[in-house]
Amino acid sequence: MFEKIKTIFRIPDLKKKILFTALFLVLYRMGSFVPVPGVDAAALQAFFAGAREGGSTLFGLLDLFVGGNFERASVFALGIMPYITASIVLQLLGSIIPYFEKLKKEGAEGQKKLNQITRYATVGLAAFNAITITTWLSSLVGVVPNPGFLFHFTGIITLTTGTMIVMWLGEQITEHGIGNGISLIIFAGIIARYPAGFIQMFKQLAANPSFENILRTVVAIVVMILVTGSVIFVTEAIRKIPVQYAKRIVGRRVYGGQSTFIPLRVNTAGVIPIIFAQSILMFPATITTLIGGQKAQTGFWLTLQRAFSPGHWVYTILYVAMIIFFAYFYTAIVLNPTEMAENMIKYGGHIPGKKPGKKTAEYISKVLTRITLPGAVFFAFIALVPELMTAIFKLPFYFGGTGIIIVVGVALDTLQQIESHLVMRHYDGFMKKGKLRSRSGG
């Protein structure tokens, strides 16, 4: 493993890409500590501490994806979320509106137009979110000492510009670095919380080094390793559907006549179902928090807040059900069995034992339905891991759920890109076993 890591830095262009990526991620983290003008960061952090004790809110979910920037009132408080929202919306519209569907089929030129539309939509969403956030910050007691037009104006401009800078950093990493820049920025924000969390956990153990606490800490670490390993396994799990292509003679050349397969992922939807479910279920708790005052602490509002807070049976049942629903919903949008069957006919392919056309589409749809359920149930369990870890092991930081799925997915994608560079330079892949050797003898 260490030899393969050394090999990465022996390849000049790969070394340059990795150093470029690291530099831009450092720049992102540095910008995360530049505050928005006019906000008392200490008062805002006190509010978030109280909100966490009373139950998670939508703002807590946002703060997870931006690496604590929202809690610190950073210029990157919105992070890359407006860009991700715009991308998901346009992806969904691509299956509904003919214009966007046409752009998706136009290749590189169509993708270029879609990227431009996504950027414009990101600016609009960022400005709208900035207006909402500055208004909300002004309503909090002591957070904005001098609320007024000047604060709103500078806050909206600062937050929107911050989102544009983060989007630019992500695009530069994708183009000149290694891995997907947008994903790596989210990855960096989530990972940044782990060291402080582990330090706090070991400080608690040092303060009370009883046998029970030592055993709890060891078991917690083992469970973290097992959870991470299981997420890697399910993320990489695929169902292979064999496809046979008939021979075609074009001029003097013979095409086809080979066997391949369609790789259907167990978790096609990725982390999207968990994000959607969390966003919807956290709205009631967020609304009651925004109402504030004594109303949110009594009667109907208090019952509503408790029912939609993590740990309550109503929240848990709805959470699991919605994750499974959105897993099927998003998979149905991303993968179209009818279109896949038509493409097979176009290129002379067929699934052995299945008639081309409708029967093939039905078979693919049946397979997707079967493999999506266990994947959705597993990730619903992973989504509940943070609550279980906090309740059983008293973890002082957020582990599992959305964060671990994103971290694993981004890490695997980046490693695969590094491996492809190594293989392209005639080295053994980074993720393969065996002694490193140069196939070309150089």
* Tokens encoding 241: 């559907």
Eight-class DSSP state of 36: P
At 268-281, the pLDDT tens digits run 887 778 777 877 77
Q: For 328-342, what is the mean pLDDT? A: 85
CA–CA separation, 21 and 13 (whole Å): 12
Question: Residue 62: what pLDDT?
Answer: 65
Q: Does pTM surpass 0.95?
A: no
At 55-78, the pLDDT tens digits run 445 566 666 667 677 778 888 888
More reliable by pLDDT, 108 or 233: 233
DSSP string, 334-396: H--HHHHHHHHHHTTEE-TTS-TTHHHHHHHHHHHHHHHHHHHHHHHHHHHHHHHHHHHH--S
Q: Residues of 218-239 as b/e, b for ≥16 C-beta within 10 angstroms?
A: eebeebbeebbeebeebbeeee
Dihedral class, residue 251 (left if φ above 0, else alpha if ψ from -120 to 50, else beta): left
Q: Which domains does the chain have, with CATH numbers?
A: 1-191 (1.10.3370.10)
Q: What are phi and psi of 254, to 5 degrees?
A: -110, 125
Closest CA to 247 of 111, 347, 374, 131: 347
At 287-324, the pLDDT tens digits run 665 555 445 555 666 677 677 777 678 888 888 898 89
Question: Residue 113: what pLDDT?
Answer: 87
Eight-class DSSP state of 170: H
Q: Which amino acid is at 23?
A: L
> Residue 432: how many CB atoms within 10 A of its CB?
12
More reliable by pLDDT, 301 or 201: 201
* Tokens encoding 43: 């008062």
At 368-412, the pLDDT tens digits run 989 999 988 988 888 888 878 877 877 777 777 778 888 888 888
Grouping H, G, I as helix, E, B as strand and the rest as coil, residue 269 is coil
Kind and range of the H or E run holding 260: strand 259-265
Of 16-20, 218-222, 342-346, the poorest mean pLDDT is in: 342-346
Q: Which residues pair with 240 in a beta bridge?
A: 263
